[in-house]
Chains A and B, each alone.
Chain A
Amino acid sequence: MTLTLEHFLTVAALLFCLGLVIALSKRNAVGMLMGIELMLNAVNLTLIAFSRFGSGGGAVAGHAFTAFVITVAAAEAAVALALAVSVYRSRQTVEVDQLDLLKL
């Protein structure tokens, strides 16, 4: 059996859904962040698969896009962890459902 575009896309779609479920169901800020990373990596897999199997001269764009997504994800994670640390210092928790000062 040879691997085709469909295989890669299916795996990526599953990963993306998995990440989304984790991001939406985890109650811990760091856990949610992990789910988000999974979603972003699923996107990277999709981009690379399209770039490898796609036709035309746009193959490089897929690679470039992936490189940018990885970079931005790192920047986002840095800010997220910094915020998580600052919240932990004042509240001793990063459980999202205990962050409930902002309710009616």
Chain B
Amino acid sequence: MRELDVVGPQLAVLLAAGAVLAWDALAPPRRAALPWIALAGLAGAAAWTTAWAVRGDFGEAFEGTFSIDAFSVFFQYVFAGVTAIVVIASIDWVEREGRRQSEYYALVLTAAAGLMFLAGARDLITIFLALELSSIPQYALAGWGKDRRSGEAGVKYLLLGAIASALLLYGMALLYGFSGSTLLTDIAAAVAERGADNRSLLAAASVLLIAGFGFKMAVVPFQMWVPDVYQGAPTPVAAFLSVGSKAAAFAVVMRLFFEGLGEEFLSDDWAMIFAVVAAVSMTLGNVLALVQRDIKRMLGYSSIAQAGNFMIGLAAVAVAGERFVAGASGVLLFVAAYAFTNLGAFIAVIAISRRTGSDEIASYAGLWRRAPLLALALAFCLVSLAGIPPTAGFWAKLYVFNAGVRADLVWLVIVGVLNSVVSAYYYLAVVRRMFLGEAEDERRLPVAPTVALALGVATLGVLVFGIVPMPLVAAAREAAAVFAGG
């Protein structure tokens, strides 16, 4: 059946979630197999997605509420890859934690299925359900750790996330009231037909939607949860949150705003909002990251600044209709590059803090002599986050800034470049400390093989796309063309 074929990748992931739970109930002594069942499900999802990509027989399903196209394929790959790396990096931590292992993987997989549904959702109800399917497991995961701070992070994340969902829903309800339909295509038609007479209603809806998604994307002024949750949540979960839900929010914002609310008179309104949010997020995130002493909090603030970089691309698309593809593909490229880079950084932190028992940046001094490969990988990811060649982060920044310049948002790009300089300072400060600092304790740090594998995959991704960016650029361009064409 075509319908089942379309959501096959998502079903594979959900099936794996069920299989993980069943395996734990049926064969409890063989818990070591759990993560590999999860990985098998993700591999199945990736294979199914590849089958779609090869066939190229794209289209809609479920009465137009869900679509499979180059855009959703791109994001399904990103989410499957991100989740797989997170699962591998979790193995060591979950085993050590020792309790309720199957539930942990089941929740991660359920959240991943939600993210993958988001990639193709073209209907307000579908978007809402997919968003909650990915969010609710993440709330539970944030409160998973035994540490008291973890429970606190979970409660904070859930309460603020629920407020954001309510704002988002109110915006969706207004859109539904205006157009009489929840399909993005119908909304686009209604906006084109009588949107000009209802500008204030649509503006209110847009503001509510941006507020709701702004929380997921972690942009100013909806960023206050980020450092607390990243610091308190278990590190593998923080890695997942920082990449998965952020990328998904950008995917759905692109769909919703460019497909549903893409009319020119509207895009002028929200282009300004996007540009201002981008500038403020970059500046505030970077300035606050400068003064952090805890590396997870630093990465939290830096991810707020990175979200600002994404937003430059969104603003560029909104301003320059016909140059659509440059901006949108810049955002997609940034999503992919950021996913690998940030995951790599977080996994390195997992490996280090597990052994040293500290997240203080000061404890990274002299890491080069204690764990050379680990230090090298972390340094490489931080250099990529700063946007210095030859890394994937460099190309991502280049494309986004280029799109900004071509959309006449020169002021925004200048703010972005200045911010890159500021960010390079604190990223490289960590690198300098690792390589030139004096370690208090000269003993070697052992690294769990699974963590090393996850870190290796992520870092290799950053390096390969840094040296040969063209395949990724082509994929991003093709995915972005979905909006330009129709």
Chain A residues engaging chain B, CB cutoff 8 angstroms: 9, 16, 19-20, 23-24, 29, 32-33, 36, 39-40, 42-43, 46-47, 49-50, 54-58, 61-62, 64-65, 68-69, 72, 75-76, 79-80, 82-84, 86-87, 90-91, 94, 96, 99, 101-102, 104
Cβ of A24: which chain B residues have Cβ within 8 Å of it? 163
Is B149 among interface residues, defined by CB-CB distance under 8 A?
yes
* CB-CB under 8 A for A83 and B139, given A16-B170, A43-B170: yes
Collect the chain B residues with CB atoms within 8 Å of residue A90's CB. Answer: 148, 151
A46 CA to B152 CA in the complex, in Å? 33
B173 and A83 contact, CB distance less than 8 A: no
The residue from A29, A72, A87 contacting B128, defined by CB atoms under 8 A apart = A72
State A32–B162 Cα separation when bound (angstroms): 10
User: Complex: how many Å from CA A96 to CA B225?
Assistant: 13
Query: Closest approach, in angstroms, between the C-beta of B58 and any C-beta of chain A?
Result: 25
A-B contact pairs, 24 of them (CB 8 A): A20-B163, A36-B162, A43-B166, A46-B170, A50-B180, A54-B180, A56-B181, A58-B181, A61-B125, A65-B124, A65-B128, A65-B172, A68-B125, A68-B128, A76-B139, A76-B165, A79-B140, A80-B139, A87-B152, A91-B152, A99-B156, A101-B148, A102-B228, A104-B292
**Cβ-defined contact, A79 with B170, below 8 A:** no
CB contacts (< 8 Å) of A39 on chain B: these are 163, 166-167, 170
Interface membership of B393, Cβ < 8 A: no
Contact A46 B151 (CB under 8 A): no
Q: Could you tell me if B158 and A83 are in contact, using CB atoms closer than 8 angstroms? A: yes
Contact with A along B144-158 (1 / 0, CB 8 A): 000011011111101
B173 (CB) vs chain A CBs: closest residue: A46
Chain B interface SS verdict (over half):
helix
**Within the assembled complex, what's the spacing in Å between the Cα atoms of A55 and B178?**
10
With A33-B162, A43-B170, A72-B128 already in contact, the answer to whether A65 and B155 are too (CB < 8 A) is no
Whether A99 pairs with B129 at a CB distance below 8 angstroms is no
Q: Are A62 and B176 in contact (CB under 8 A)?
A: yes
Known: A54-B180, A61-B182, A69-B169. A23 touches B155 (CB 8 A): no
A-side contacts of B165, CB under 8 Å: 76
Please name the residue on chain A nearest to B146 by beta carbon.
Answer: A90
Closest Cβ of chain B to A69, distance in Å, is 6
Instruction: Return the CB mask of B229-270 against A: 1 if under 8 Å, else 0.
Output: 001100000000000000000000000000000000000000
Give chain A residues whose Cβ lies under 8 Å from the Cβ of B176: 47, 50, 58, 61-62, 65
Q: Which of B136, B159, B174, B297 contacts A33 (CB 8 A)?
A: B159
* Cα separation A32 to B155 with both chains bound (whole Å): 11
